[in-house]
Amino acid sequence: MGINPADRRVVVTGVGVINALGDNVDTFWDNIIAGKCGIDRITSFDISDYACQIAAEVRDFDPSAAFPSPKEIRRTDRFTQFGIYAGWRALMDSGLEIDKHDPDLIGAFIGSGIGGLATTEAQKEILLSRGPGRMSPFTIPMLILNMASGIFSMYYNLRGPNVATCSACATATHALGEAWRTIKMGDAEAIFAGGTEAAIVPMGIGGFAAMKALSTRNDDPQRASRPFDKDRDGFVMGEGAAVLLLEELGHAKARGAKIYCEIVGYGNTADAHHLTSPSPEGEGAARCMRMALRSAGLNTDEIQYINAHGTSTPQGDICETQAVKAVFGENVSKLVVNSTKGATGHLLGAAGATEMALCAKAIEKQIAPPTINIENQDPACDLDYVREGARAMKIDAILNNSFGFGGHNATIAARRFV
């Protein structure tokens, strides 16, 4: 007889992060709950000519603990370094001893929305100024976005399924959902899943600013990212990575693993509407949430908390609010919906896993993180966004939303493990 996916449960047993608010999940959680913000003026390059001069940078980053040698670090782009580091943190947090398990059944799904943008910039400059013969032989391996997933598997001899998702700001949530599906189908027992991004470079900031997507509240960085606030003027870029270890329940229990939560559903839809704008009234996002609920076997009255995509863009926040109301109907009044991007900035391809890390901790601690910087709530965004600070509350089941340019939508459903 074949494997019945319905009989295979998938749990989160390890969480690793690196971002402006922490290089481990507990520090990150404590800073989020305290209402701290990681956004400041950009220090990594000269910003004087840029319309947007603020971001949530990871400063003083030392990836050496996660790499076998300094030479290996030099051969990787910053986005790969973040991904490897977050994966290593997830491994340490999980207590998984890889060499005691079948490596053919352990995988890595670590994606990126953009990949090695810093390498692209640097090598293009060398090409133009010194000629093609002076380019690094590692140019392509450094910039292609699958390398975080690929190199992580090499370091730990993970020979199971290996995928690098790329769907803009839905990347990491798609990685988590596809990893969940792969374990359910019996093709792996454990997968390190998430996303990584390092796009706070001239081309990244300049390109997004040219689209008028970024906040220009340069004189007030800590209050620039303000999801659901009437005076929001765009998102603020963040950088970093988050990787979660997803594990089949029997596999996790056999080794006595700590379990944060159980992933129970996944939604994946397309707007098929516009390059950068969401479909009217968040129709695609609503279908995505409904799909996640349906696959989880959950009703709307069983969800207490949604970590929203909530980027602080004028149109996006309204459309997501409309989508939540369309899906939850009369149960929306009992629902907490927040965004943590006011604190972290928008980590693009790493956003969904960064926020899933917070969802896992929210379920564990029974606390909803705050949405900071709502000073004048937009009347069109009329949900309970936890604007007063972190809130202790019952959290049995959650949704985590991510929506990306190109009309990519992804939603994860998770619940408290019982």
Q: Is 169 part of the annotated catalytic residue set?
A: yes
**Helix-strand-coil split of the chain, %, nearest 5:** 40, 20, 40
Q: Is 346 part of the annotated catalytic residue set?
A: yes
Of 166, 309, 319, 381, the active-site residue reads: 309
Specify whether the CB–CB gap between 155 and 80 falls below 8 A. no
**Bridge partner residues of 162 (DSSP):** 108
**Contacts for 4-7: CB closer than 8 Å, 24+ residues apart:** 5/184, 5/185, 5/186
Phi, psi of 398 (to 5 degrees): -135, 160
Whole-angstrom distance, CA of residue 122 vs CA of residue 146: 19
Whole-angstrom distance, CA of residue 139 vs CA of residue 141: 6
Of 37, 169, 288, 319, the active-site residue reads: 169
**Bridge partner residues of 286 (DSSP):** none
Cα pseudo-dihedral 259, 192, 110, 186, rounded to 10:
-100
Q: Is 274 part of the annotated catalytic residue set?
A: no
Of 174, 251, 346, 408, the active-site residue reads: 346
State the angle between helix axes of 351-365 and 25-33 in degrees (0 to 180), rounded to the nearest 10. 80
Other C-beta atoms closer than 10 Å to the C-beta of 377 total 16
Where does 157-305 have alpha helices with state H? 171-184, 202-210, 249-254, 283-296
Which structure tokens are listed for 68?
A: 């076998």
68-95: burial string, b at 16+ Cβ within 10 Å, e else: eeeebbebbbbbbbbbbbbbbbbbebbe
**Bridge partner residues of 262 (DSSP):** 11, 415
CA atoms within 13 A on the CB side of 185: 9
Residues annotated as catalytic (active site), given as ranges: 169, 309, 346
